[in-house]
Chains A and B, each alone.
Chain A
């Protein structure tokens, strides 16, 4: 596959092209072929240029407030020319309340003021070449973390009633928790008891009471995965992996990124027995 070809375009009369120029340069540095239309392009001119230049994606920039009128017109002009399959991303001074309207009109994604060029470049790579940047899926559910007030009180339900095997109990001082591991098939339950009031588990219990706290996914290369998630703009709690129980490397993904579920990535390194 050759280089990704991008058309950066300024629809309308807006003359502010600092953002467009910076993005053009950044995408070139990411190995893409970038064509910049220059100022004052009509939606039809932009569609024609995109077709002529055979681009993979179009980036629109407007800071003048004309986006609600002009961005959808670019989509229309592409469709009229049977080029509606060229994805269009956009940026500039776009109030957040306008974003749903623009997405509905066929813009793939809006990058507002303050977005990183890195996130944009990765988004485009993913969009054009999804196979290339796809990560292996996580191997399995490593464990399900359950917050409890007291392991001593909770444990008998799991060992006696359910009949699960208790593998061990361990204090993880850095996280302020005591942990009990119970094996179930290829996965585990992890009962979490706070060691002190400042523990995040204590805060969880205060707020929500006992219950499922997180789900941990076993992955092969946690650092690489975090890097890619970060670039794609996925909200992370830990941008770098840290040491977890049993010699593992772990990091948490923000619940906002996963429909309200706290996900943990965990990678078991050599010599870890769990």
Chain B
């Protein structure tokens, strides 16, 4: 029973830092709820399940899980101007949200200024428009960056936005080692599923490893990547494909960083993951548990990482946008509740719950509040967070966990046979697999082999049109003016110098570009100017 003793010791240590939420946990009938229920006599208990906070982490990555602290409730938000989004952020923080998550508009995500011809019609639509440091200053106004952690959904130009964040931190007087947050920075899934790529794979992988290295030295608490299965699932994959392709991509990042000469235990602890939660409740719970176990094994046995922190898969979860229906949108609240519950039962570190109206537009403030309340009800009222990994030992869930693990390894083997994730993506392998499943799903729904309540069964004659959030059409013009003003008011000579310098350094493959991007950002160079320099040097990815 030494493993159990180890766990008990680590619980004691953890509780000193993060005391449990209550002195005792009980049910309504005054039955005491223990931290952990385990039957160590079951076959291969320690090999397959182990203890929370210890290898292979099937039961969670922290010794006390939600007994000490709930997951971070992190709602993804952003629309229109930086000013408007700043208001929504401060509202969400007042409402008890514990972390920020920034949605950027598509021109920002693809490295175009708001007044670029390519940006037409897209400015401020799916997120906030950020052209220069000036916008970032407005976005984060009065938000203390040493206290609030910020997740940024930004990939191809992740380095630029990270540098803007660092620059705002410096202006607030927050030292770099105090900044916490995450950049998505996962380009491979952009090629597979999400589409906001700029450069070809090779220079993109260079920028990513540059970020790993820079952050390890200067911004050690920042998660340098969020390896995302979310969008793979949204594009139509199965749960198994979601985990398999995400882990295959994760291995490609690890390989690239090792090749660049980084030490595995120096960067691996800062790798984070991002998964989806769909409606098949038990499969989703099993999926999260299997994913943790697989990653731990790969990091320990394949990559020989020594630091236990390198073995732990920390992940964010978002409920499944593609499962929501435009019909009878209030039904989506129920779907989100089920999915959020699965994420919590799967041991997520943070969670975004979708709003009921997301199949129709960006969420209104009312809808966003209900989505946050859904998490708060699960946390505070349901009692599901009072014991760790409550589905462990269920014959069904354990069997599903094992099966998902087996199927994931089969896919990873196929990807490896093709020469790894980058090659598999270039050959369109993952895209085809996902596309096939997306089409089969659509056919099942049209044949009513798969029932979607309100869509192909239990329909209403008359759909009620809910109030939707409108992004003001005048915003695009205002943002265009604003970026023009910033360009006029900066020291153009310094901007030119910074950009020329960046161009020079980009030619040299072994130079870390982050300090040069940071320099350009601080001179109020625009995201488009910086990305255009890199486009000239790196070329553009034009699809497969």
Chain A interfacial positions (CB closer than 8 Å to B): 12-18, 21-22, 25-26, 38-40, 42, 64-66, 68-70, 73, 93, 95-97, 112-114, 116-118, 256
Contacts of A39 in B (CB 8 A): 195, 543
Closest to B466 in A: A95
Write out, one digit per residue, whether chain B residues 414-436 have a CB within 8 A of any chain A CB (1) or not (0).
00000000000000000000010
A93→B359 contact, CB < 8 A? yes
B446→A116 contact, CB < 8 A? yes
A26→B326 contact, CB < 8 A? no
CA distance A222 to B446 in the complex (A): 22
A93→B361 contact, CB < 8 A? yes
Q: List 26 A-B contacts (CB under 8 A).
A: A12-B121, A12-B122, A13-B109, A13-B110, A13-B122, A14-B122, A15-B106, A15-B194, A16-B194, A21-B435, A21-B438, A22-B236, A22-B438, A64-B106, A64-B125, A64-B126, A65-B126, A65-B362, A70-B121, A93-B361, A95-B468, A96-B465, A97-B468, A114-B326, A114-B327, A117-B446
Contact of B543 among A14, A21, A38, A95 (CB under 8 A): A38
CA distance A73 to B106 in the complex (A): 19
Contacts of A66 in B (CB 8 A): 120-122, 125
Contact of B465 among A93, A97, A114 (CB under 8 A): A97
Question: B437-475: which have CB < 8 Å to A?
Answer: 438-439, 442, 446, 455, 461, 463, 465, 468, 471, 473
Contacts of A65 in B (CB 8 A): 122, 125-126, 361-362, 471
Secondary structure dominating the interface of A: loop
**Is the C-beta of B492 less than 8 angstroms from some C-beta in chain A?**
no
CA distance A73 to B196 in the complex (A): 22
A16→B439 contact, CB < 8 A? no
Contacts of A38 in B (CB 8 A): 542-543
Chain B count of residues within 8 A CB distance of the other chain: 42
Secondary structure dominating the interface of B: loop
CA distance A256 to B462 in the complex (A): 10
Given contacts A12-B122, A25-B439, contact A112 B326 (CB under 8 A): yes
B446→A14 contact, CB < 8 A? no
Contact of B236 among A14, A18, A96, A97 (CB under 8 A): A18
CA distance A256 to B435 in the complex (A): 37
B122→A15 contact, CB < 8 A? no
Known: A13-B109, A21-B435, A118-B446. 15 other contacts (CB 8 A): A13-B106, A13-B122, A14-B106, A14-B126, A15-B194, A17-B195, A18-B234, A26-B439, A40-B110, A64-B126, A93-B361, A112-B326, A113-B326, A113-B359, A114-B326
Contacts of A114 in B (CB 8 A): 325-327, 455
CA distance A197 to B48 in the complex (A): 64
A14→B195 contact, CB < 8 A? yes
Contacts of B542 in A (CB 8 A): 38
B325→A113 contact, CB < 8 A? yes
From residue A120, how far is it (CB to closest CB) to chain B in Å? Answer: 11
CA distance A112 to B455 in the complex (A): 12
Contacts of A18 in B (CB 8 A): 234-236, 322, 438
Closest to A256 in B: B461
**Is the C-beta of B107 less than 8 angstroms from some C-beta in chain A?**
yes
A69→B121 contact, CB < 8 A? yes
From residue B236, how far is it (CB to closest CB) to chain A in Å? Answer: 5
Given contacts A112-B326, A114-B327, A117-B442, contact A13 B107 (CB under 8 A): yes
Contacts of A97 in B (CB 8 A): 465, 468
Of listed A14, A18, A117, residue having the most chain B CB within 10 A? A18
Contacts of A116 in B (CB 8 A): 446
**Is the C-beta of B190 less than 8 angstroms from some C-beta in chain A?**
yes
Closest to B471 in A: A65
Contacts of B126 in A (CB 8 A): 14, 64-65
From residue A99, how far is it (CB to closest CB) to chain B in Å? Answer: 11
Contacts of B106 in A (CB 8 A): 12-15, 64
CA distance A243 to B429 in the complex (A): 52
Closest to A97 in B: B465
**Is the C-beta of B258 less than 8 angstroms from some C-beta in chain A?**
no
